[in-house]
Amino acid sequence: MKMMIKLAIMGGLLALGLAESKAQDTNTNVFAFQTNVLMNLSFKATAFVQSGDGTVTKTRLTTKDVVTRINTDLGTTDSKARLIFALPLPLGVDQPNPTTGLVRLQSGSTTNDLGDFLNIFRSEDGPPVIQNSGNATTEYSIWRVSFATTDASFEAQGFGTFTAGTNNRNGKGSITGFAGFGAVGGNSAVVSGSATMSGKRTEVIDLGF
pLDDT tens for the 209 residues of the chain, in order: 544 434 343 444 333 343 443 444 444 555 577 888 999 999 999 999 999 999 999 999 999 999 999 999 999 888 889 999 999 888 866 555 666 679 999 998 888 899 889 999 999 888 899 999 888 999 999 999 999 999 999 999 999 999 998 766 789 999 999 999 999 999 999 999 999 999 999 888 877 76
Q: How many CB atoms lie within 10 A of CB 127?
A: 10
Distance of alpha carbon 20 from alpha carbon 55, whole angstroms: 61
Q: How far apart are CA 124 and CA 130, in angstroms?
A: 15
How many Cβ atoms sit within 10 Å of the Cβ of residue 9?
Answer: 10
What is the maximum alpha-carbon separation in the chain?
91
Closest listed residue to residue 208, CA positions, set 32, 67, 50: 32
Q: Round to whole Å and give the CA distance between 89 and 173.
A: 13
pTM: 0.80
d(CA 9, CA 162): 42
